[in-house]
Amino acid sequence: MEYIGSGANRRLRQQDKGFYRRMQYPDNYKVNTMQITKFEKNHRRELRYKFINAFPKAITPVQVSYGDADVLRVTVSFNFDRYVVF
């Protein structure tokens, strides 16, 4: 939380009455645009979503095993400012 949220100032502690958080969205994890393409069953029609200012909100923990080769699947939830469908 401290990575993306800074405190009121250096003199106030979190326990102090006047403490507040101001969220920061650095350029190193917030992307300008992200696009997802949804294909229909007949493969002749597709729907595209373009997300503006997207950033990850939650990543589910995944246990890594060093056995047989397998695809590692991770679930990530994103937030965004707005989206466009085309």
Q: For 10-40, what is each residue's pLDDT tens digit?
A: 666 777 777 776 666 666 778 899 999 999 8
The neighbour count for residue 21, using CB atoms within 10 Å, is 13
Kindly provide the b/e burial profile for residues 4-14, where b requires at least 16 CB atoms within 10 angstroms of the residue's own CB.
eeeeeeeeeee
In angstroms, rounded to a whole number, what is the distance separating the alpha carbons of residues 60 and 76? Answer: 7
Reported residue count of the chain is: 86
Detail the DSSP E strand segments found in 28-75: 31-39, 46-59
Q: Which pLDDT belongs to residue 67?
A: 82
pTM over 0.85, yes/no: no
Q: Sorting pLDDT into bands at 50, 70 and 90, what band is 8?
A: low
Residues sharing a CB contact under 8 Å with residue 60, sequence separation 6 or more, in sequence order: 74, 75, 76
- Tell me: the pLDDT tens digits for 53-79? 998 888 999 988 888 888 889 999 999
